[in-house]
Structure 1
């Protein structure tokens, strides 16, 4: 960026409705116009049944979805560099199944 066009200062403001929420499930729905990310919480009450309670849907433009992809990729690379590689599947064959308290 040239000195003629300085970066604007960004002021982050949280609305009164803002909430932090835990999600261990995300579903992605795609259309020509947008990406719809649906966040929820998955619970396994029995080994053969999984329930997902969706609690928030976020629509992103394709450009914002790509920007999110890039930022997540950079942050995951930094996380793995600091803490080790993430595996999506448990590597321990004795990993507990079902409800874990």
Structure 2
């Protein structure tokens, strides 16, 4: 008899760990945060074209919003995404906010229903 084992084993995925035959291992993502900076935003807006979705982040500079007739917003960051990345962000933010509301309670936004109705009406016109 030879020294080789007569047992056969299933092929291993690309990372060398046991798994299903032909199933490549999920790639490892290495996050490099060495150039990351942190900013604060309490105002966000968005615009889109067929090719991209643009998010605008800024801070409200108005001291007394209840009495203000105008709001001064300092736009500080613009993030441009392709539609696929924007959709992934939409799904991710939905999950994050659902977890937040489960732990801390529902987030109520003033005027959200009116804004949603206006957006729906504008969408119907286009």
Specify if TM > 0.5: yes
For the aligned residues, what is the CA RMSD? 1.8
How many residues align? The count is 88
Give the TM-score normalised by structure 1.
Answer: 0.79
Aligned to 1:10: 29
Q: Which runs of 5+ in 1 are unaligned?
A: 91-101
Give the TM-score normalised by structure 2.
Answer: 0.64
SS at match of 1:44: coil
1:40 aligns with 2:61: no
List, as ranges, runs of 4+ consecutive aligned residues in structure 1 with deviation greater than 2 Å.
none
1:31 aligns with 2:49: yes
Aligned to 2:80: 59
Q: Which has the higher helix share?
A: 2
Q: Which runs of 5+ in 2 are unaligned?
A: 1-18, 112-126
Q: Which has the higher strand share?
A: 1
